[in-house]
Amino acid sequence: MADEPLVLGIETSCDETGVGIVHGTTLLADAVASSVNDHARYGGVVPEIASRAHLEAMVPTIQRALDTAGIKATDLDGIAVTAGPGLAGALLVGVSAAKAYAWALDKPLYGVNHLASHICVDQLEHGRLPEPTMALLVSGGHSSLLLSSDITSDVRPLGATIDDAAGEAFDKVARVLGLGFPGGPHVDRTARDGDGKAIAFPRGLSASNDPAYDFSFSGLKTAVARWVEARRRAGEEVPIADVAASFQEAVTDVLTRKAVRACKDNGVDHLMIGGGVAANSRLREMAQQRCDRAGIVLRVPRPGLCTDNGAMVAALGSEMVRRGRTPSAFDLSADSSLPVTEVHVPHTEFHAHAHESLR
């Protein structure tokens, strides 16, 4: 353990300023400052507000993480940062801060992929990921099935949503039901008092000739909105808890069925679920039942590590250092649409020389 890398990770792709510190696969600090309340009245994240909040929170959040971990910045072996995908302006604040710290401290810089970080974070809870691992990544912006044989270099998409992300569907349905923002946790809580079988909402892309690993949640979202609208128009009371539970049942049914199928088809016996929606209690429960039945080992991080945080970036950065991956150049840029296959953004020979001559 003594020679394991000590890495600080910075996450600013959306509305959480996250700073994590990881030693090998041990979490030492996970400081998060969220601007979620500043966005609530708009019903969605406002990029300019998020960027400004990151700027204000960055230095204090880094300091808080260092204090919690009980280390000095000079002790670090590297600085990792989310380079994408995410909101361009928000990412830029994190990338700029990471460069400034890495430059001032003379530490290697690792620009990493937000989605791979959501997978790698599980190493902090359940030890190193088996290779290969199947990952179901479900967040506010993404819903994908990914197969990884090495989380620092090989993440292969098997399928993804063709319209809304799972988290987006939770957020939109929550709005229809008059619940708060972000919707996921509210739907989760409300659904506990409801019956998931009360209403048979559609399961998108589930016919035998549909793509096996792709998802579609836009039809489901519309079906929920229509159902609620019809009740309201008829002057009937809307059974909010039953609608929330039935919607949640439809989403988790499709996600878990396709994830288990992907494992079986590809001969993979470990399934990891990550991203904000992985915090959902019904998804966790159903995934556990179906994996147990199929002989698949399920790995899901605790809810606090599923939603965006800095620890996940530090976890991937630590793995990058351990595996001797090439650090990023100091002209690393934020890429709002960074493909999932680009796990880290390395440097080029030219950049390496430019960096040396500038020093």
Strand partners, 136: 145, 273
252 interacts with Zn ion by CB under 5 A: no
Least Å distance, CB 239 to ligand KG4, is 20
220 interacts with ligand KG4 by CB under 6 A: no
309 binds, among ligand KG4, Zn ion, none (CB under 5 to 8 A by kind): none
24 binds, among ligand KG4, Zn ion, none (CB under 5 to 8 A by kind): none
Write out the H or E segment, with its range, that includes residue 16: strand 16-23
Torsion angle, alpha carbons of 18, 23, 26, 30, to 10: -20
308 interacts with Zn ion by CB under 5 A: yes
Q: Are 260 and 291 in contact (CB under 8 A)?
A: yes
85 interacts with ligand KG4 by CB under 6 A: no
185 interacts with ligand KG4 by CB under 6 A: yes
Q: Enumerate residues 6+ apart whose C-beta is below 8 A from 81.
A: 9, 10, 11, 94, 95, 97, 98, 109, 110, 111, 112, 313, 332
224, amino acid identity? V
256 interacts with ligand KG4 by CB under 6 A: no
Least Å distance, CB 309 to ligand KG4, is 8
Specify the residue, 76 or 179, whose C-beta has the smaller distance to ligand KG4.
Answer: 179
Q: Are 79 and 109 in contact (CB under 8 A)?
A: yes
279 binds, among ligand KG4, Zn ion, none (CB under 5 to 8 A by kind): ligand KG4
183 binds, among Zn ion, ligand KG4, none (CB under 5 to 8 A by kind): ligand KG4
Q: Residues for the chain: how many in total? A: 359
- Residue 9: half-sphere exposure toward Cβ, Cα within 13 Å: 39
| Sheet with 270-274, edge to edge strand ranges | 154-160, 143-150, 133-138, 270-274, 297-299
Q: Of 53, 50, 36, give the one whose Cα is nearest residue 182.
A: 36
Q: What is the DSSP letter of 323?
A: T
Site for ligand KG4 in 4-33 (CB under 6 A): 14
Find the angle CA(121)-CA(184)-CA(304) to the nearest 5 degrees: 30
182 interacts with ligand KG4 by CB under 6 A: yes
Q: Phi and psi (nearest 5°) for 206?
A: -110, 5
DSSP E strands in 24-108: the ranges are 26-34, 78-84
188 binds, among ligand KG4, Zn ion, none (CB under 5 to 8 A by kind): ligand KG4
204 binds, among Zn ion, ligand KG4, none (CB under 5 to 8 A by kind): none
Residue of the chain from 145, 147, 272, 279 that contacts ligand KG4 (CB under 6 A): 279
Place of tokens 């960055």: 58
Q: Enumerate residues 6+ apart whose C-beta is below 8 A from 71.
A: 6, 21, 28
* Among 23-31, 131-139, 333-341, 345-353, the segment contacting Zn ion (CB under 5 A): 131-139
Cα(311)–Cα(125) distance, rounded to whole angstroms? 11
Specify the residue, 102 or 314, whose C-beta has the smaller distance to ligand KG4.
Answer: 314
Residue of the chain from 12, 123, 139, 318 that contacts Zn ion (CB under 5 A): 139
Cα(173)–Cα(187) distance, rounded to whole angstroms? 8
185 binds, among ligand KG4, Zn ion, none (CB under 5 to 8 A by kind): ligand KG4
171 interacts with Zn ion by CB under 5 A: no
Site for ligand KG4 in 305-334 (CB under 6 A): 307-308
Cα(273)–Cα(198) distance, rounded to whole angstroms? 27
Residue of the chain from 170, 201, 215, 247 that contacts ligand KG4 (CB under 6 A): 170
111 interacts with ligand KG4 by CB under 6 A: no
Least Å distance, CB 306 to Zn ion, is 9
Residue of the chain from 5, 18, 20, 276 that contacts ligand KG4 (CB under 6 A): 276
Specify the residue, 216 or 280, whose C-beta has the smaller distance to ligand KG4.
Answer: 280
Query: Which residues contact Zn ion by CB under 5 A?
Result: 139, 308
Query: Which residues contact ligand KG4 by CB under 6 A?
Result: 14, 139-141, 167, 170-171, 182-185, 188, 275-277, 279-280, 307-308
